[in-house]
Chains A and B, each alone.
Chain A
Amino acid sequence: MGLIAIWQVIVLTCYSMYQIMDELTIQSSLSQPVWAGLIAGLVMGDIKTGLIIGGSLQLTVLGVGTFGGASKIDANSGTVMATAFAIGAGMKPEVAVAALGVPVASLMIQTDIVARFANTFFQHRVDKMIDQENYKGIERNYLYGVLPWTLSRGIPVFLALAFGGPFVRTAVSYMNENLAWLSNGLATAGALLPAVGFAILLRYLPVKKHFPYLILGFIITALFSTVYGNIGILGTTVAGIDTKFTTKFASLPMLAIALIGFAFALLEYKRSTEKSAVVAVEKSSESEDSEEQDGEIHGDEI
C-alpha cells in the first residue's frame, strides 16, 4: 500500500500495452528500455533513477534484436517494473536492474510466446472470412490481433505493480539489513550486465572482418576516458582546495567518440561503392541489351 499509486499503476500498464504495438509497427524508439526508464521515472517522480535503470537495461540487451520472429527478452517491461519498485520501495537502481529488471524481462518471454500463439486463432478466422467473402470480417479479425499483443504485456505489468508492492518492500528491507553481500553482489552484477549486451552484439557482427576497428574503438575510448576522468578528479580536488577555481570539466562526450567511428565507416562505404561501381559498369555493358530484348518479348506476348 502506498508504494505505487493507482493512477501510476494504470498509466504504466497503458504504456506497457502501447510499447509492444509501437515495437511491432512504427518503431519510434518509444518501446526501448531508455524510454521505458524515462517514462516510468516521470510517472514515479524520479526521472534520474528511471534513466539509470533504463540505460543499464538498454545496454544489457544491446545486441538482442528480433530475428525471424523469435521472442526476445522484454527489457521494456523489466525496466518499467524495476523503475517503479526502485523508486516506490527505495531500491538502489543497480540492484533493481539485476534483481528485478532482468528476471522480469526474461519471464515476459513466456507471455510473448502466448500472444504469438493466440494470434493463430485470428489467422484461421481470416481464412474463413476470405471463403465467405466477408471483407469487413477479414480486416476486423486481423485487427483483433491487438488484443493478445497488448494483454501479453498489460496483464503481467498490472498484476505485478498492483499486488507486488508489499512483497518487494519486505524483500528489499530484509536484503538491506541481513544480506548486504547479496545487495552488493547484485549491484556489481548490474554494473557488469552491459558486458553481456556487448558480447551478444559482437556475435551478430562480423568481428573478424572489422577486428582492427574493435581495437581502435576500445583504445581511443579507454585512453580518453582515463584522461577525462583524471582531469575531472583533479578539477574537483583543486576546487575543494581553492574556492577561486570554478572551471568545470565535462565528462567524455560519447557522441564525439561515435563520430570518429562514423568517419571510419564513411571511408569504408566509399571504398566499397567505388569497388561495386566498377563491377557494375563491367556487368551493365554486357547485360543492358539482353534486358531490353527481354522486355520486348514480354510486350509482344500481351
Chain B
Amino acid sequence: METKSKSTNKITYKLTAKDFRQINFRSLVFNQWGWNYERMQGSGYLYIMMPQLRKMYGDHTPELKSIMKMQNQFFNTSNFFNTIIQGIDLAIEEKKGVKSLETVAGIKAGLMGPFAAIGDSLFAALVPAIMGAIAANMAVNGNALGAFLWMAVDFVIMWFRWIQLKFAYKQGVNLVTSMQGQLSALTDAATLLGVYVVGALAATMVNTQVIYVAHLGKMAVNFQEQIDMIMPKLIPALIVGGIYWMLGKKHMTSTRAIFIVIIVAVALSALGILGKAV
C-alpha cells in the first residue's frame, strides 16, 4: 500500500469518448436509484463515475479509496444538471489527481445548491407546469396528443443532458461564470411564460359556477349570469386567488390545501351554492 502511494500522484489516463458515453448512460438510467435521506444522491455520484475513477487512479490504490470516500459523501442537486458538476470535477481530477480531493469536495458542495435551484425551477416546476397544462387540457377533452407532445419535449431535454457533460469537461470551472447570465435570462423568460399560462389555465380549467338562484318574489336572480356580465370566469379567478392566499398561511401544506378544498367544495355543493359548470 505504502509503496504505491508515492508513485501515482499524477493521472496518466486520458478520458475517451467511450468514458463520456458511459457516464452519461449511468447518469440517465441509474441516477438516484440509491437516493436516501442520509446522503441523498451521494452514492449515486460515486456510482456514475466509478469506472472512470478506477481507470484514473487504478484499482486497490489508497488514492482510489480516499477519492471514493469523498465522492460518496452528501450530494444533492438537480438530476438535470449533475453531469455538469461531474464534467467540471473530472477535468480537475484529471489534471491534479488525488491532490484535488479538497478542491473537488469544495466545488461539489459549492455548485450543487445553485444548480439545484435553477434545475428544479426549470425542470421540476416549469416544464411540467407548462407541458402538463397543455397535455392535461387536451386529455380532459379526451385527446392523448398532448401527452406525446410532452414526451417529445422531454426527449429534447434528455439530449441536452447528454451533451452537457463533455461541454462542462472542456470548459471547466469557467463554465459556471459564463453560463450564469444566460441561465438567469432563461429562468426569467420561463417564469414569465409560467405565470401567463397559469392565468390562461385559471380561465379554462376550473369548471365551477354559482348555481344559486335567488327568488325575490316573482323575480329569479341568476347569480352566474350577473357575474358573467361583469367578467366571464370571475369565479375561477377568485377561487385560485383564495387558495393562493390560503397557501401563504402558516402550517399550510399543499396536501392540506387539497383536502380543505375538497371539503369546502362538497359543503358548498350540498348547500346548493356552487356546482360543476357544464
Contacts and interface: CB of A to CB of B under 8 A. Distances in A.
Name the prevailing secondary structure of the A interface residues.
helix
Given A185-B270, A194-B201, A268-B192, A258 B240 contact: no
A105 B185 CA distance: 35
Interface in A26-41: 26-30, 32-35, 37-38
B135 A32 contact: yes
Contacts of B155: 28
Contact of B244 (A33, A202, A220): A202
Contacts of A199: 240-241, 243-244, 246-247, 257
A255 interface: yes
A213 B191 CA distance: 10
A195 B202 contact: yes
Contact of B204 (A56, A190, A252): A252
Interface string B107-147: 00000000010001101110011111111111111111011
A223 B204 CA distance: 10
Name the prevailing secondary structure of the B interface residues.
helix
A259 to B, nearest CB: 10
B76 A25 contact: no
B232 A222 contact: yes
A223 B234 CA distance: 11
B185 A28 contact: no
B203 A32 contact: no
B38 interface: yes
B17 interface: no
A267 B199 CA distance: 19
A226 B234 CA distance: 12
B160 interface: no
Size range of the interface on A?
A: 35 or more
B190 A265 contact: yes
Contacts, number: 394
Contacts of A116: 35-37
A149 B33 contact: yes
B125 A63 contact: yes
Nearest to A206: B191
A145 interface: yes
20 contacts: A25-B30, A35-B147, A38-B144, A51-B139, A51-B142, A59-B136, A59-B201, A119-B34, A120-B38, A133-B65, A138-B46, A191-B207, A191-B276, A198-B243, A199-B243, A214-B195, A218-B202, A260-B196, A265-B190, A276-B182
Given A68-B116, A188-B266, 19 more contacts: A26-B158, A29-B131, A30-B151, A32-B147, A32-B150, A62-B129, A120-B36, A184-B269, A193-B262, A196-B257, A198-B205, A200-B247, A205-B194, A221-B233, A222-B237, A223-B232, A251-B141, A260-B196, A272-B185
Interface of B: 28-40, 42-44, 46-47, 50, 54, 59-60, 65, 68-69, 72, 76, 79, 95-96, 116, 120-121, 123-125, 128-144, 146-147, 150-151, 153-155, 157-158, 174, 181-182, 184-186, 188-208, 228, 231-233, 236-237, 239-241, 243-244, 246-248, 254-255, 257-259, 261-262, 265-270, 274-277
Interface of A: 21, 24-30, 32-35, 37-38, 47-48, 51-52, 54-56, 58-60, 62-69, 73, 94, 98, 102, 106, 109, 116-120, 122-123, 126-127, 130-131, 133, 135, 138-139, 141-143, 145-146, 149, 181-182, 184-196, 198-207, 209-211, 213-223, 225-226, 251-252, 254-255, 257-258, 260-262, 264-266, 268-269, 272-273, 276-277, 279-280, 291, 302
